[in-house]
Structures are given as C-alpha cells and as structure tokens.
Amino acid sequence: MKKKIKLYDSTLRDGAQTKGVNFSLDDKIKIITVLDEIGIDYIEGGWPGANPTDDKFFKSLPKLKNSKAVAFGMMRKSGKIPNDDPGLNHVLKSGVSSVCLVGKSWDFHVKNALRVSLNENLDMISDSIAFASKRVDEVLFDAEHFFDGFKNNSDYSLKSIKRAFDSGASWIILCDTNGGTLPNELEGILSEVKKIIPEKCLGVHFHNDTDNSTSNSLESIRNGVSQIQGTFNGLGERCGNANLINVAANLILKMGYDCNLKKRLDKLTLTSRFIDETLNRESPRNLPFVGSAAFAHKGGLHISAVEKDPRCYEHIDPNQIGNERVLVVSNQSGKSNIINKLKKLKIDIKGKEKKVVNFLKKIKEQEFLGYAYDGAEASFELLVKRMFQKFNEFYSLESFRVTDEKRKNNKNEFVPFSEARVKIYVDKKEFFSAAEGSGPIHALDMALRNALIKFYPKIKKLNLIDYKVRILTPQDGTKALVRVRIESKNEKLKWSTIGVSYNVIDASYIALHDSITYHLLKTK
C-alpha cells in the first residue's frame, strides 16, 4: 500500500504574483471554500501583515471542513529577537494553527540578498522556528532556493534545513525557486536530504521555468517526498508554479498514490474553471486533464476510433476528473454531458431526442458567441427551462435607455451621473420606471427593481454581490465583444448569470435579467 501524499496549495499567495491577477477579499474566500470542498490538505491563505487584503482575509476566514489554512511569513529580521519582530508575530497571531516560514538555504542569497553572515542566517532560522513552534500547532520551513543552494554549497544548504527541523519544524519544504532543476538531478539530492530529514516530514515546491515542475514533483514523490506544493492552473510569477491539478491527477490515476483529493477527483475540472472565472481569466483550452480541448478529437479516423473505443486516443476516462469528450465534427459532441446535466435538473428527456439535439446545437451556438456556462449555473438552468418546459417569464422588456454623463457640482467639480429608464410588461400591464445610480448598471438595476417591486415584492431580497467584465475580442479595441458575469444572492442561495454582447450595457442587462428571473423563480 503506497503512502498518502499531502497536497499544499499556494494559489492565494503565489498565484497573486501572476501578471494580471489581483485577488479581492471576496475572491480569496470563494477560492479557499472550493479548495476546502475538494479536500486540499493545506491552503496557504496569504501573508498576514503584508497587505490589507490578507489581514482582512484571515479575520474573515471561513470555517474549513477538510483543509488546514496556513499563514505565510518569514524569519525574524537580523538584529531582532523573535518576540520583538512585528512581521513574525503578525503571522503567528493570524488565528490559524499552521504557519509556513520562509528562510534562505543558498549561501549566495544569504550573502548578497540578506547581507548577513552564514551563521547569523542559521540563528535566524533556529530562533524563529523554535519561537513559532511553541505558539502554533505546526510550522513548515520553506527552504527558499534549496536546490540552487545544494548545487553551490551542499553542506550549508543541508545545515539550514537541519537547523529548522531540530528547532521544531514539522515539515521541511525544499524549494526550486528559480525553477531550473531537472528531474535527473533529484535522486542524488534527495538521497542526501533523507539522511538528515525523515521522508514523512519532506515536501517540495517547484517553479516551472524549465517546464519541469510536474515531472520534478512526481519524481520527488517517487523518491520518498510526502508533500507537494503548487498552485491551481499553475498560477505564479514568471512561468508559474507546479500545477497541482496535473500533479494530483498523475499521482492518483497513474502512480497509484492516495491523497484526500482522490474522493473528489471528479471536481478538478470544475474547480480549475471556477478559479479562472473568479479571476476573470480565460482558461487555456489545452490545459492537461481539465482543458476544454484535453479530450477533443478532430478528424475522421480519430473520431471513428474513439467512438469504437475511447482508449485509442485517450489516456484516461475524462469523467474521472470531471471533464468531457468532445468530437469536433460529430453531432454527438458533448451529448452525454448535456444529458447528465439535464438529469440533474430533473428534466424528463424520454421521447425528446430531437429537443436534446436542438438544445445541444443551441449551447454550441451560444458558446460560439462567447457564452461560458461553467460558473454561470443559473443562466444554464434558465436556458434549459426555456427550452424544455413551459416557462413563463416574469416580465417582458419593451425598452430601456441608459444615460451617463459628467456634470459640475456646486463645488465646480466634475462628478459622474447615471440614469436609466425602463418600460416592461407584467401580465400585459405596462410599467415604467426611471432611476439614478452610481453607475449605468446600478441605475439600470434600480430602474428594473422600481418597475417590478409592485408586482414582485420579493425583489427586495435580491442582492448583486459581484460584477465582472471580460473582453472576448481584444483585437477589436473599443468595439470588442464583451462578456459580463454577475453574481447574486438572496437569503438562501447564491448564483451566477452571464450575458454577451458588443455593447457592455446590453451584456449587463442580459445577465441582470437572468439574475432577476432566477431569484423570482426560486422564491415564487
């Protein structure tokens, strides 16, 4: 029986160093919640004391069911004792019982970055780890640049991790911070490390600068390491970190190892896309395992072979990781996945083969336009109900107009002013409303609410909590196609809706209309 491997996710800190990625407090709470649901062992939440978002995050940390939240920090500064180092104490007082402290293990960095003596760096490590281990349940030592340090001065790099372990560190994490280590180098290095650190206390964290982070992670497991660190979708600075999706899928499905994620492996694709959608990023189609093209087949011979036996061109069953097979030129493409979704929504499809095919065609048309229903479950459900059931809309739009301008106030300062006017019909009765707002979308939302509240008082319970716009055709400049995603909630539910148009107000209205409709449907 192979041992259980621990997975440590650092998306919420390392991932924030990705160009174009900026986590809001709400983003971080959403992501840690979904990572907890699938059973990631450790989730690094951020660096308390480093920025206001991380400080607020640890104060509003949701209760986790399957994972341990980890606070990241660094050793005491030179010339300070741990008790008087504000940075270290900020981490230790963050409210979590596991902390990861980074320290230098490469003599070059000690001399040129920290500018302290080699012995003082060792003292900084031992002082900080000993101090922390008495105040929290678990301390992980993040041995920064360990592999470069080992190649340059193996004696010193080994001394640094031995100091940390002897001072009370529960885990020693060997970091390939520059991402330059190759798989063939690992066996020799790890064999020396295992002479002083037990395998059960060893972890690794590889960056992907040479495109070897997945290979290095798997090779480290094969050589006895018990914890793998990385990020979802490989987020991170430069070329990113080891992609935990690829590592986890390979170690479970290919190498036969166990980990907590194994029970929820079929949630990998959904989680990957949820994180990208939360960050307003386009998910790369060719991502291994979870990409939309990971199991896509095009060309007669391939499709013919796959339809007879998928093993001809698929290394695993895509359902194992929550993905789906796509036959690009076949009208059966994605049909089984759609049928499964319809069943979950309790749609009776017996004798409705033609409707299912037409619905699949409709989905493809929508996706071609730019719609993406992963992460917009409410819009998908409404599309289903509109096509398969006698669904009566709660209102119909006759027209709307939105104006946005800048005016001078009584202080002669320019201030924005937005107003929306809507005309709708409810049960053949006409309703007109106008409203001002802090922006055009807010004004439109308020105008719709004012028109509907007489007929649907429960509209007061609807709250819009997030709004994101993505440019789908950036080459078109200001006339680009845009996708708007709105997240909403009421007293019981939270959901997302989507709209696509060349006009951002129109796209917003489509998503807003679905949000209102879904709320009224669930509270009628």
Radius of gyration of the chain (CA): 27
Q: Is 103 exposed, middle or buried (0-12, 13-18, 19+ CB in 10 A)?
A: buried
Most confident of 229-233, 305-309, 429-433: 229-233
Confidence of residue 331 (pLDDT cuts 50, 70, 90): very low
pLDDT by residue (tens digit) across 106-163? Answer: 999 999 999 999 999 999 999 999 999 999 999 999 999 999 999 999 999 999 999 9
Q: Has residue 330 got a pLDDT over 50?
A: no
Q: Cα torsion for 176, 181, 184, 187, to the nearest 10°?
A: -30
Q: Which of 353, 326, 444, 341 is nearest to 383 (CA)?
A: 341
The pLDDT value given to residue 304:
67
Residue 304, phi-psi category: left (phi > 0), alpha (psi -120 to 50), beta (remainder): alpha
Strands 494-501 and 482-489 come out as antiparallel
d(CA 379, CA 388): 14
Angstrom distances, CA of residue 266 to CA of 84, 244, 324, 334: 47, 14, 11, 17
Residue 160 zone, left/alpha/beta (φ > 0; ψ -120 to 50; rest): alpha
Phi, psi of 202 (to 5 degrees): -105, 135
**CA proximity to 517, closest of 376, 382, 341:** 382
Q: What value does the mean pLDDT of the chain take?
A: 93
Picking from 132, 137, 129, the residue whose alpha carbon sits closest to that of residue 96 is: 137
* DSSP element (H, E) containing 463: strand 463-471
**Which pLDDT band holds residue 209 (cuts at 50, 70, 90)?**
very high
Question: Tens digit of pLDDT for each residue in 163-179?
Answer: 999 999 999 999 999 99
| Cα first-last separation, the chain | 53
Residue 300 has a pLDDT of 55
229 with 207: CB under 8 angstroms? no
- The residue to which tokens 């036959």 are assigned: 327
Residue 210 has pLDDT above 90, yes or no: yes
Task: Tell how strand 42-46 and strand 414-426 pair up.
Answer: unpaired
With bands split at pLDDT 50, 70 and 90, how would you rate the model's confidence at 88?
very high
Q: Helices marked H in 279-429 — which ranges?
A: 300-308, 335-344, 353-369, 377-388
Crossing angle of helices 213-222 and 244-253, rounded to 10°? 40
* pLDDT score for 219: 98
Specify the pLDDT at position 334. Answer: 58
Predicted local confidence at residue 59, as pLDDT? 97
pLDDT top residue among 482 and 285: 482
If pLDDT is split at 50, 70 and 90, which confidence band does 302 have?
low
Buried b / exposed e along 387-408 (16+ C-beta atoms within 10 A): bbeeeeebbeeeebebeeeeee
pLDDT tens for each residue of 334-376: 566 677 778 888 888 888 888 888 898 898 889 889 998 877 8
CA 248 from centroid of its chain's CA atoms: 16
Tens-place pLDDT, residues 9-48: 999 999 999 998 999 999 999 999 999 999 999 999 999 9
The residue with greater pLDDT, 343 or 271, is 271
Phi, psi of 468 (to 5 degrees): -135, 140
Long-range contacts of 25-31 (CB under 8 A, 24+ apart): 25/53, 25/56, 25/57, 25/60, 26/465, 26/466, 27/278, 27/279, 28/53, 28/57, 29/57, 29/60, 29/62, 30/274, 30/278, 31/275, 31/278
Ramachandran quadrant class, 202 (left: phi over 0; alpha: psi -120 to 50; beta: rest): beta
Measuring CA to CA, how many Å separate 103 from each of 74, 124, 146, 163? 6, 8, 10, 11
Q: What is the pLDDT of residues 436-495, one digit of tens each?
A: 999 999 999 999 999 999 999 999 999 999 999 999 999 999 899 999 999 999 999 999
Which pair of structure tokens corresponds to residue 479? 């006339």
For the segment 218-266, what is each residue's pLDDT rounded down to a tens digit? 999 999 999 999 999 999 999 999 999 999 999 999 999 999 999 999 9
363 near 381, Cβ under 8 Å? no
Least confident of 203-217, 280-294, 355-369: 355-369
Rounded to two decimals, the pTM is 0.83
- Between CA 498 and CA 485 the distance in angstroms is 5
pLDDT band per the 50, 70, 90 thresholds, residue 391 = confident
Is the pLDDT at 185 greater than 50, yes or no? yes
Alpha helices in 238-352 (DSSP H): 244-253, 268-278, 300-308, 335-344
Which residues fall within 8 angstroms of residue 156, CB to CB, at 6 or more apart?
Answer: 105, 107, 118, 149
Between 86-100, 235-249, 295-309, 443-457, the lowest mean confidence (pLDDT) is in 295-309
Looking at residue 490, its pLDDT comes to: 94
Half-sphere exposure (Cβ direction) of 62: Cα atoms closer than 13 Å: 18
Distance CA 400, CA 397 (A): 8
- Dist CA 422 CA 516 (whole Å): 15
Distances in Å between the Cα of 498 and the Cα atoms of 34, 345, 379, 383, 490 are 21, 19, 6, 11, 18
* Mean pLDDT, residues 92-104: 98
Cα separation values, 297 from 263, 283, 365, 454, Å: 28, 19, 19, 52
